[in-house]
């Protein structure tokens, strides 16, 4: 089975622009979470989606938004990019049945100039 996939791998944007990051979870998994990992730090929780509904939101500004599609893939959108948004964005796939284990994708490296 394929693992979690994310696209693109790398992205360079300038301040004020908008970016869309994509994630496909493991087949059969209905929930995804998004995390931001700034260089030298642990990942910080941004969003969780389950069955296309937002189930959790971290302490991030409204410039960050996400959605989940009927096939359980997900998009993370960031508007009005700031230099501080430069980070590795990780998507995690979560199985059902109350399992607590999250499987991470390789991430998208976003650089804002």
Partner 1 sequence: GNSVTQMEGPVTLSEEAFLTINCTYTATGYPSLFWYVQYPGEGLQLLLKATKADDKGSNKGFEATYRKETTSFHLEKGSVQVSDSAVYFCALWTGSGGSNYKLTFGKGTLLTVNP
Q: How many residues bind partner 1 (CB under 8 A)?
A: 31
CB of 15 vs partner 1, minimal distance in Å: 25
Report how far residue 37's alpha carbon sits from residue 85's, in angstroms, rounded to the nearest whole number.
10
On whether the CB atoms of residues 78 and 18 are closer than 8 A, the answer is yes
Distance, first Cα to last Cα, the chain: 37
Q: Which of 55, 63, 83, 111 binds partner 1 (CB under 8 A)?
A: 55
Q: How far is CA 21 from CA 48, 82, 88, 103, in A?
A: 15, 16, 11, 17
CB of 24 vs partner 1, minimal distance in Å: 14
Decide if residue 43 touches partner 1 (CB under 8 A).
yes
Q: Could you list the residues that contact partner 1 (CB under 8 A)?
A: 4, 6, 31, 33, 35, 40-45, 48, 50-51, 55-56, 58, 88, 90, 92, 94, 96, 98, 100-107
């Amino acid at each position: 089975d394929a693992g979690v996939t994310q696209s693109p791998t790398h992205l360079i944007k300038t301040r004020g622009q908008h970016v869309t990051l994509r994630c496909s979870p493991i087949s059969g998994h209905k929930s995804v979470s998004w995390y931001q990992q700034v260089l030298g730090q642990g990942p910080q929780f941004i969003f969780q989606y389950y069955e296309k509904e937002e189930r959790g939101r971290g302490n991030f500004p409204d410039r960050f938004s996400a959605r989940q599609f009927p096939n359980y893939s997900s998009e993370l959108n960031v508007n009005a990019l700031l230099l501080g948004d430069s980070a590795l964005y990780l998507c995690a796939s979560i199985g059902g049945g109350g399992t607590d284990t999250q499987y991470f994708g390789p991430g998208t490296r976003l650089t804002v100039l």
